[in-house]
Amino acid sequence: MSRVLYTAANPPARSAWEAINPMRMIGELSETRYWMYLLLLPSALLITAVVLYPTLYGIQLSFREMRLNRPALGTDWVLFKHYARMLADPIFWTALRNTAVWVTSSIALEFTVGLIAALALNRNLPGTKVLAVLILVPYFLPNVVAGHMWALMLDPRLGVINDLLVKTGLLTGYKAWFADPSTAMAAAIIVEAWHSFPFFTLLIMAGLKGIPTDLYKAADIDGAGPFAQLRLITLPMLKTIIAAAVILRVIGLVNSPDLLLILTNGGPGRATQVLSLYAFQTAYKDFNFGYAGALSVVMFILLMGFAWAYIRLSKVNQD
Amino acid sequence: MTTNFSRRSVLKLGGGLLAASALLPQHAFAQAKAINYWHTFTSQSEQAGLDAVLALFKAAHPDIAVTPENIPNPEFMAKVTAAVVSGSRPSVTMVASERFKDLLAMGALIDMTDRVAKWERRKDFDDKRFESISADGKVYGVPSFAFVDWMYYRKDWFDEAGIAVPTTLAEMRDAAVKLTNPSKGRYGYGLRGGPGGQNIIINIMEAFGSPVLHADGKIGLDREKAIQAIDFYAGLLTKDHAVPPSAANDGYRQIVEGFQTGQTAMIYHHTGSYQDIASKLKPGVEFGTMAIPAGPATRVARLAYAYNTITKQEDADTAWQWIKFWGEPDAAVAFLEKTGYFPASTVAAQDKRIVGNPMYKAAADTLGFGIPQPSFPGAAGWAESSVLPNFQRVLIGQATPEQAVDEMITALAEATN
């Protein structure tokens, strides 16, 4: 009896079912270089549908006339009309300046408090697990809830904060924090920092767990104190995490007007008007989607520029 | 006994079940008609009023299920705009009169002219009630209830100080100044300089002789008269110090709480807040109601209506049943008793439960001289994006009345050109 030797050049004959068996076909496809593209296809389609298409649509909108309550104006291309208007629009410049203050102050405060909280919780002292949960609670609150809660706490009539400050002698009378342009932005920044500092705490804590303890032991032997260890070991080792957290928070702060919408609605006057809120109001109060699109494109460019510059300056990708 | 299934018999059985399951839900839906209703009711009293109307409707139309969906007022236009653009419209939408022109321009509303004309209760409604929801001879909604502007005042404080109820804005200012006593934490007037305050500012400008929408249809402000109005109204804070220092950020909640807690002597709102006020203060003893005082040029008290409109053609017939039910006197009075919102129907407004209550006299008087909110495409956006922030700038000392009015005029031109 002769034996048949099956090789790649001489495969065994397939039955009709084997030829169309989808599992076999998938198995064979997984061995090819097209498999990677096939796996990426669903997410690529999803991103195209929910991110890329709206982004491109928004960009083209910024070059068109699009006022929903003025259909007679049509939707013709207007090229850079909206961008030219922006340059002469004092509210845009006020909003840009306020956005810079809002974002940098909030990030600085959130990072500082978040770092301190993470370092404290990382010491594994008794009760830190409970404290870690409590510290994260503000972050789990929706912006709307946090906004209304603080609006009541800072209320000039019924607010507990005013009451405490007056009773402790720090204030002589109840203060209308959000009605005074000199305190409205600061009060909103404090609310924002309270709400979002746990984001930094969470990420920094995760990063701290990954730093080898040997480094600290060696630093101890070399006589490095706590601040030297923080400066020379902890912060450099957390560089990538901090960079990612800062970029994510900056994107969130620039894009989300909800907290300011609840606390101040951009007022008093234009004291807390920021770009995202201005774009929102332009689109949904004035129904001028063309100009709102242009404002959004400017925000997009600013964010891209910031992310690029920040990554370069922090030298994250050089490690 | 064993049963053998062939592949063909299994496929037949599956196909039959599939066809049956596809038919069943359609049959079920055909029995119960369902619509959704977008509204802006937020307070407890408003919710109670809506629940009362829903209960009456359910009893009258057990075959129709209404799903109410609350859209907070500040987000209302954003949600409706998104729904129209994305094609996910609600069956029925509550529309405030000042939003009508914007919604009509974006194609959100469906013509209801024929339905309204054939409606058996059409004669219960004065023609004027439909003016703010009509354009080019077509009717796009039915008034469900009225926002009648009036003022609340602390009757006990006025009596104690021997001050008469003001009938002009000048008298109102004098009373506010006399009743202000910062050492007691009392202010004469609760000025709404925050969200929602823009309409009052427009009213004051019109009372001083500067309407934004003129009788001939032209749009524009009379600069000098508008400046006088802003100077007067902001002056209640900046010159007279007769309003709480938080005025620039005070919205509905703040002015009502300020009045309820004894901080302010007068507030300007409409009948819809009556039950909220009456839940904390005794009507006729601690507080009273008065018609909006007259300005130097005219008396401006808005008589605005909330309209129910059909916004989805597919549900139009069912939606119409819900919309016209609001015109039934029992529904209108039930809603009034829970909220304070006045009936839009003339017949319902004559109900003895309304005319027999002296607290409603100011509102009943206002029905005689009240005027609708100015409505033109861009009106609501201009009021919120320019009138309010520029008025706030005067309140906080960042602009003069002249600068604020100039900004308003520029923004008005941009909004309407």
CATH, residue B208: 3.40.190.10
In terms of C-beta density within 10 A (0-12 exposed, 13-18 middle, 19 or more buried), how is residue A265 classed? buried
Domain range spanning residue B170?
148-302+374-416
Domains, chain A, with CATH or none: 16-61 (no CATH), 81-318 (1.10.3720.10)
Tokens representing A250 are 């900056």
**Are residues B51 and B107 part of one domain?**
yes
In terms of C-beta density within 10 A (0-12 exposed, 13-18 middle, 19 or more buried), how is residue A56 classed? exposed
Antiparallel, parallel or unpaired: β B287-290 and B142-154: antiparallel
**Are residues B346 and B205 part of one domain?**
no
CA distance B171 to B293: 8
Asked if the structure places residue B49 within a domain, the reply is yes
Residues of A in contact with B105 (CB under 8 A): 68-71
User: Is the CB of residue B200 less than 8 Å from the CB of residue B302?
Assistant: no
Which amino acid type is present at position B373? Q
**Are residues B289 and B233 part of one domain?**
yes
CA distance B416 to B395: 26
Taking 3-state DSSP, the helix, strand and coil percentages for chain A, each rounded to the nearest 5, stand at: 70, 0, 25
**Are residues B391 and B273 part of one domain?**
yes
Asked if the structure places residue B24 within a domain, the reply is no
Q: Which residue has the higher pLDDT, A3 or B403?
A: B403
- B254 inside 8 A of chain A by CB: yes
CA distance A204 to B151: 55
Which amino acid type is present at position A89? D
Which amino acid type is present at position B329? P
Low-confidence ranges of chain A (pLDDT < 70): 1-4, 8, 14, 316-319
The mean pLDDT of B262-278, rounded to a whole number, is 93
- A259 inside 8 A of chain B by CB: no
- Chain centroid to Cα B140, Å, comes to 17
Q: With an 8 Å Cβ cutoff, are A69 and B254 in contact?
A: no
Q: How near does any CA of chain B get to the CA of A184, in Å? A: 10
- A280 inside 8 A of chain B by CB: yes
Which amino acid type is present at position B211? P
**Are residues B171 and B141 part of one domain?**
no
pLDDT surpasses 90 at B227: yes
Q: Which residue has the tokens 């002469």?
A: A88
Query: Does the bond joining B90 to the residue before it have cis omega, within 30 degrees of 0?
Result: no
Q: CA-based diameter of chain B, in Å? A: 101
pLDDT at B7: 54
pLDDT surpasses 50 at B322: yes
Cβ-proximal residues to B268 (8 Å cutoff; 6+ apart), any chain: B149, B151, B190, B192, B200, B292
Q: With an 8 Å Cβ cutoff, are A270 and B389 in contact?
A: yes
CA distance A97 to B358: 54
By Cβ distance, the residue of A68, A179, A281 closest to B249 is A179
pLDDT at B31: 46
For B69, half-sphere exposure in the C-beta direction (CA atoms, 13 angstrom radius) is: 15
Neighbours of B28 (CB within 10 A): 9
Q: With an 8 Å Cβ cutoff, are B261 and A157 in contact?
A: yes
pLDDT at B28: 45
Q: With an 8 Å Cβ cutoff, are A69 and B248 in contact?
A: no
Antiparallel, parallel or unpaired: β B342-343 and B287-290: unpaired
Phi, psi of B307 (to 5 degrees): -110, 145
Q: With an 8 Å Cβ cutoff, are A176 and B249 in contact?
A: yes
Q: How near does any CA of chain A get to the CA of B78, in Å? A: 5
pLDDT at A318: 61
Cα distances from A284 to residues A289, B225, B378, in angstroms, run 8, 30, 11
pLDDT at B17: 59
Under 8 Å CB pairs connecting chains A and B tally to: 109
User: Pick from B327, B307, B322: which is nearest to B67 by CA?
Assistant: B322
Q: With an 8 Å Cβ cutoff, are B261 and A158 in contact?
A: yes
Q: Is the ipTM of this complex over 0.85?
A: no
Tokens representing B213 are 């929408």
CA distance A206 to A184: 34
By Cβ distance, the residue of A180, A282, A284 closest to B81 is A284
Q: With an 8 Å Cβ cutoff, are A70 and B193 in contact?
A: no
pLDDT band at B229, cuts 50/70/90? very high
Cα distances from B376 to residues A297, B4, B206, B212, B379, in angstroms, run 30, 75, 16, 10, 5
> Tens digits of per-residue pLDDT, A220-260?
998 889 899 999 999 999 999 999 999 999 999 999 889 99
**Are residues B296 and B252 part of one domain?**
yes
Q: Of A241-250, B8-17, B351-360, B372-381, which range is least confident?
A: B8-17
Q: Which residues pair with B34 in a beta bridge?
A: B65
Cβ-proximal residues to B274 (8 Å cutoff; 6+ apart), any chain: B289, B339, B340, B359
CA distance A210 to A118: 13
CA distance B309 to B109: 7
Asked if the structure places residue B10 within a domain, the reply is no
**Are residues B240 and B137 part of one domain?**
no
Number of domains in chain B: 2
- Chain centroid to Cα B373, Å, comes to 10
Asked if the structure places residue B8 within a domain, the reply is no
The mean pLDDT of B324-343, rounded to a whole number, is 89
CA-based nearest residue in chain B for residue A159: B254
Segment 167-206 of chain B within 8 Å of chain A by CB? 193-195
DSSP 3-state assignment of A14?
coil
pLDDT at A73: 86
User: Pick from A165, A286, A108, A132: which is nearest to B105 by CA?
Assistant: A286
**Are residues B336 and B191 part of one domain?**
no
**Are residues B311 and B291 part of one domain?**
no
The mean pLDDT of B123-145, rounded to a whole number, is 91
- Chain centroid to Cα B222, Å, comes to 27
First to last CA, chain B: 85
Asked if the structure places residue B21 within a domain, the reply is no
**Are residues B135 and B153 part of one domain?**
no
CA distance A238 to A249: 16
pLDDT surpasses 50 at B2: no
Asked if the structure places residue B257 within a domain, the reply is yes
Asked if the structure places residue B65 within a domain, the reply is yes
Cα distances from B239 to residues B173, B235, B267, B288, in angstroms, run 11, 5, 19, 27
CA-based nearest residue in chain B for residue A288: B415
DSSP 3-state assignment of B343?
strand
**Are residues B99 and B199 part of one domain?**
no
- A68 inside 8 A of chain B by CB: yes
By Cβ distance, the residue of A266, A280, A282 closest to B389 is A266
> Tens digits of per-residue pLDDT, B274-316?
988 999 999 999 999 999 999 999 999 998 889 999 999 999 9
Q: How near does any CA of chain B get to the CA of A254, in Å? A: 20
pLDDT at B178: 97
Q: Which residues pair with A77 in a beta bridge?
A: A64
Q: How near does any CA of chain A get to the CA of B55, in Å? A: 31
User: Is the CB of residue B347 less than 8 Å from the CB of residue B124?
Assistant: yes
**Are residues B282 and B196 part of one domain?**
yes
Q: With an 8 Å Cβ cutoff, are B385 and A184 in contact?
A: no
Asked if the structure places residue B23 within a domain, the reply is no
Q: What is the dihedral of CA B60, B72, A289, A192, to 10 degrees?
A: -160
Q: With an 8 Å Cβ cutoff, are A181 and B398 in contact?
A: yes
Residues of A in contact with B74 (CB under 8 A): 261, 265
CA distance A146 to A217: 42
Secondary structure of B260-278 as H, E, C letters: HCCCECEEEEEHHHHHHHH
Q: Which residues pair with A115 in a beta bridge?
A: none
